[in-house]
């Protein structure tokens, strides 16, 4: 990541249940001391902190502190410890709490001016943190929050005994604990008592986190505003990213000043002055790189199949896969030469020495999975571009 005179960064970490949580704190380039209002950014399902770095740059250049961090097991490219099979809403809630606790002790951060932000599933978790610790969050910012997860889990698994030990969801294998947590946690019951102001930003062409759930959230929160970005899909890019960055900056600016939030018009985002710094682009995920909605994206009524409450795990996965509700698509097979039939005496060949097989790192394993390759390559490109 290239150096910038407009912002500076420093690594930070937190601990949770023996796991290390990686984060970065972004500060204005001319920071000379003192406590600043701070935005704490949580990434979405299967992603990492890089998805929120454009917003961190945008806000840090304008005088705010911003923290981006990786959930433990939250994605294959995570810099935090942990396994995706152990990740759940409960573990991500604990991760978020641990990071906020560290930030509240930092001299650069004004603990009375903390704003919780999350994209996708991170928005769901940010809502949980605000519910558990309302005094921590002066405001809440949710980007295409994945509030549909609870309904999807209930439709997929009529009872908790239907939840398999593990299953693939949007390209990542998760464990039974993940299914239990989304099955149990209704985000709308956690919104009703949060006293702060809430900004929800959602694209009206998002086929992954459906905007209908954000519209409902705007009604349930005591004080929330939904800003719709017309034409935007899941994960904002280009002018949609710029628009979202403007909105969250204007929201934080109004909150810090104690003034009503009066957002600029959507047309203003397209007529920025030439010298106005705009956020860099977030990493491109494979499903969105072609400008198409993911294959597993469905409308609410068709998103989950009907499953018998007595169905076994294999039947559940088969039904979910057929409906496109979970990503059970096979990985692309590796090309290999056609081998001639082995002679009969080959059966007596010496067995393979398992101990002699190399142990692959996550980066090496990524070579065999096109989804991992695209994610890692985009992250590297993102860092080079700065």
- Which two three-digit tokens encode residue 304? 């989950």
C-alpha distances in angstroms, 113 versus 110, 136, 144, 258, 308? 5, 8, 23, 11, 49
Q: Give the bridge partners for 26, in sequence order.
A: 9, 66
Start-to-end CA distance of the chain, whole Å, equals: 5
Q: What is the set of domains in the chain, with CATH numbers?
A: 7-262 (3.40.50.1820)
Confidence of residue 266 (pLDDT cuts 50, 70, 90): confident
pLDDT, tens digit (0-9, with 9 covering 90-100), for 168-212: 999 999 999 999 999 999 999 999 999 999 999 999 999 999 999
Which pairs from 287-296 meet CB under 8 Å and 24+ separation?
Answer: 288/233, 288/234, 288/235, 288/237, 289/374, 293/205, 293/207, 293/208, 293/233, 293/234, 294/170, 294/207, 294/208, 294/234, 295/324, 295/329, 296/170, 296/324, 296/325, 296/326, 296/327
pLDDT, tens digit (0-9, with 9 covering 90-100), for 1-55: 344 568 999 999 999 999 999 999 999 999 999 999 999 999 999 999 999 999 9
Average per-residue pLDDT for the chain = 79
Pairwise CA distance, residues 6 & 60, whole Å:
8
Q: Are 278 and 272 in contact (CB under 8 A)?
A: yes
pLDDT, tens digit (0-9, with 9 covering 90-100), for 302-348: 343 444 444 444 454 444 444 444 443 333 444 444 444 444 444 44
The predicted pLDDT at position 109 comes to 98
- Which two three-digit tokens encode residue 343? 């002679």
């Amino acid at each position: 990541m290239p150096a910038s005179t407009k912002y500076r960064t420093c690594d930070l970490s937190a601990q949770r249940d023996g796991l290390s949580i990686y984060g970065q704190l972004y500060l204005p380039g001319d920071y000379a001391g003192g406590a600043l209002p701070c935005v704490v950014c949580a990434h979405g399902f299967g992603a990492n902190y890089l998805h929120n770095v454009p917003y961190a740059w945008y806000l840090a250049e304008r005088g705010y502190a911003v923290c981006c961090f990786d959930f433990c097991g939250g994605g294959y490219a995570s810099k935090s410890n942990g396994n995706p099979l152990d990740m759940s809403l409960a573990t991500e809630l604990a991760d978020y709490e641990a990071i906020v606790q560290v930030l509240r002790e930092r001299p650069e951060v004004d603990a009375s001016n903390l704003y919780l932000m999350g994209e996708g599933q991170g928005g769901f978790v940010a809502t949980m943190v605000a519910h558990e610790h309302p005094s921590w969050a002066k405001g809440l910012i949710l980007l295409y929050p994945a509030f549909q997860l609870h309904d999807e889990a209930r439709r997929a698994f009529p009872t908790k005994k239907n939840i398999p030990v593990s299953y693939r969801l949007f390209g990542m294998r998760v464990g039974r604990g993940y299914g239990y947590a989304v099955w149990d946690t209704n985000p709308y019951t956690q919104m009703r008592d949060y006293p702060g102001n809430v900004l929800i930003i959602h694209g009206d062409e998002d086929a992954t986190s459906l905007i209908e759930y954000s519209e409902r959230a705007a009604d349930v929160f005591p004080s929330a505003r939904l800003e719709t970005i017309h034409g935007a899909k899941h994960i904002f890019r280009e002018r949609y990213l710029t628009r979202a960055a403007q909105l969250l900056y204007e929201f934080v600016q109004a909150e810090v000043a104690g003034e009503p939030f009066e957002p600029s018009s959507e047309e203003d985002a397209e007529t920025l002055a030439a010298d106005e710094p705009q956020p860099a682009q977030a990493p491109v995920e494979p499903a969105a790189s072609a400008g198409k909605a993911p294959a597993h994206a469905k409308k609410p009524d068709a998103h989950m199949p009907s499953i018998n409450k007595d169905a076994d795990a294999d039947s559940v996965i088969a039904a979910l896969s057929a409906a496109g509700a979970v990503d059970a698509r096979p990985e692309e097979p590796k090309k290999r030469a056609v081998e001639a039939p082995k002679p009969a005496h080959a059966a007596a060949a010496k067995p393979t020495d398992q101990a002699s097989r190399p142990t692959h790192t996550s980066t090496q394993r990524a070579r065999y999975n096109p989804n991992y390759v695209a994610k890692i390559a985009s992250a590297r490109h993102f860092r080079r571009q700065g």
